A and B are shown apart, each in its own frame.
Chain A
């Protein structure tokens, strides 16, 4: 049966990256449509009228919004290949908890690292490191959060790795120095084609952040 899969996306979005990785892991062919967020397409506004945000996954004409909801949807529909969520309810709950934790913390705290300076930035950096250390502890000695293979939490979290260089430059600190095991995990994920092809170059992300800072009048 001809399946039509479209992803409305924006290249530096860690949320878009999640869906890119999930689709790649499952080997799903899809049409990637890059959005200009200053000039949102009619399709985006039609498919996500509530939030008007990317990513939007359109499967046979029907939209699925919100990145983690998309990843779960992809996992459920294409369930015969590369399962991302465990089948055991308790392990599934644990995966959902940590993906939710990444959602609540990384984007907001990371945002404060590049958007602020002085005292506020120092606080944000400290919070970010604490958050990353907690995730590092959860990873433990496992190769991936999902165990032996890439799982839901890995997919939820690894996109933010593409922003690390930019955060380090803006905040003048080293994430690897504080969380070496986490960086080792990230590099391990990057060895996978599905991840490497879905994440943008870190320098490119840094240039993008610099542009955003200029645009918002942040030094």
Chain B
């Protein structure tokens, strides 16, 4: 059957990465289009995501789906093999809870801790550590949040497990350390070592200078404000 699957993304975007990883986990072929989100957004991007004008956008047989978590749920429901959400409604609700927690609490505060000015950094860092402790409790001795295999929570947590780890290197921070958060640290290692994850993550040597530049920009904008 001729399926047309496209992803409009940005190579360094953790959100864009989620959509790609999900399709790879399902073995779905897709065309990837890199958008110049910091320069000139294409007419197609503006057409397919008029409300938020952001990536990622999933285009499936001409219909667009936007917002990374909405995209992940759509992919799960459309390609019903290699499932990454639990079937049981309660377990599903629990997975959704952790996904929301990562996106609303963990990831934003960790990013904030990376570029915050010195005088604000301690407070944000303490908050971020609290959130990481809580997130770690969700692992509860399992290899992945999804159990033996990668689940939707793991896909979303890649933002913390990979992108934030890279960010920390640049800033000389050691938030997600093996001694402070042994389980979470081990999880991030195991996750990044999965072949399907390894082959699809943006390369560190390219990501490092990009994130460095982004942090500098945030700090500059914040200083001006």
Contact = CB atoms under 8 A, between A and B. Distances in A.
Interface string B49-86: 00100000000100101110111011001100000000
Given A59-B90, A65-B97, 12 more contacts: A64-B93, A66-B100, A69-B100, A73-B92, A76-B89, A77-B89, A93-B65, A93-B70, A93-B71, A96-B70, A100-B69, A134-B51
Interface of B: 51, 60, 63, 65-67, 69-71, 73-74, 77-78, 89-90, 92-93, 96-97, 100-101, 134
Contacts of A192: none
A9 to B, nearest CB: 18
22 contacts: A50-B101, A62-B90, A66-B96, A66-B100, A69-B93, A69-B100, A73-B89, A73-B92, A76-B89, A76-B92, A89-B74, A89-B77, A90-B74, A92-B73, A92-B77, A93-B70, A93-B71, A93-B73, A93-B74, A96-B73, A97-B65, A100-B69
B74 A92 contact: yes
A50 B127 CA distance: 13
Contact of A97 (B66, B100, B134): B66
From DSSP, what is the main secondary structure of chain B's interface residues?
helix
A72 interface: yes
A100 B67 contact: yes
A2 to B, nearest CB: 17
Interface residues of A, number: 21
Contact of A73 (B51, B69, B93): B93
A185 interface: no
Interface of A: 50, 59, 62, 64-66, 69-70, 72-73, 76-77, 89-90, 92-93, 96-97, 100-101, 134
A77 B92 CA distance: 11
A50 B134 contact: yes
A67 to B, nearest CB: 11
B49 to A, nearest CB: 10
Nearest to A70: B93
A90 B65 contact: yes
A178 to B, nearest CB: 19
A72 B96 contact: yes
Contact of A72 (B66, B71, B74, B93): B93
A69 B96 contact: yes
Contacts of A101: 51
Contacts of A73: 89-90, 92-93
Nearest to A87: B77
A100 B70 contact: yes
A157 B51 CA distance: 17
B114 to A, nearest CB: 23
B73 A64 contact: no
Given A90-B74, A96-B70, A134-B51, A64 B90 contact: yes
A62 B94 CA distance: 10
